[in-house]
């Protein structure tokens, strides 16, 4: 499946869109981390929760659960909120 990577994480992948495999969001992140070490830690914290500034959209719908089942043709978009002052 296609995964869209936000600009702040492009230093890991070097590409805005990458392919990944997995039957759930957690498996997709594990697959991405195997190929792009360190990427998962920027998205998921030490307690296996999505970091507060990260959002996931599966086929255009926001997803809050790493156990979210995925199908081969799904599209995943990772969005990182901007903060600052």
pLDDT value at residue 28: 96
Strands of 75-80's sheet, edge to edge? Answer: 17-19, 2-4, 75-80, 54-58, 61-63
**C-alpha pair distances (Å), 77 with each of 28, 47, 56, 72, 74:** 12, 22, 6, 15, 10
According to CATH, the topology of domain 2-80 is Ubiquitin-like (UB roll) (3.10.20)
- Tens place of pLDDT for every residue, the chain, 85 residues? 999 999 999 999 999 999 999 999 999 999 999 999 999 999 999 999 999 889 999 999 999 999 999 998 999 999 988 765 5
Task: Give residue-wise pLDDT tens across range 24-43.
Answer: 999 999 999 999 999 999 99
Single pTM value for the model? 0.89
Give the chain's mean pLDDT: 92
- Token pair in block for residue 44: 């998921």
């Amino acid at each position: 499946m296609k995964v869209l990577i936000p600009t702040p994480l492009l230093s890991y992948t070097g590409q805005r869109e990458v392919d990944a495999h997995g039957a759930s969001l957690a498996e997709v992140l594990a697959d991405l981390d195997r190929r792009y070490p360190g990427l998962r830690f920027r998205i998921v914290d030490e307690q296996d929760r999505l970091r507060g500034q990260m959002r996931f959209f599966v086929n255009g719908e926001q997803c809050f659960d790493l156990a979210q089942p995925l199908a081969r043709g799904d599209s995943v978009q990772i969005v990182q909120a901007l903060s600052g002052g």
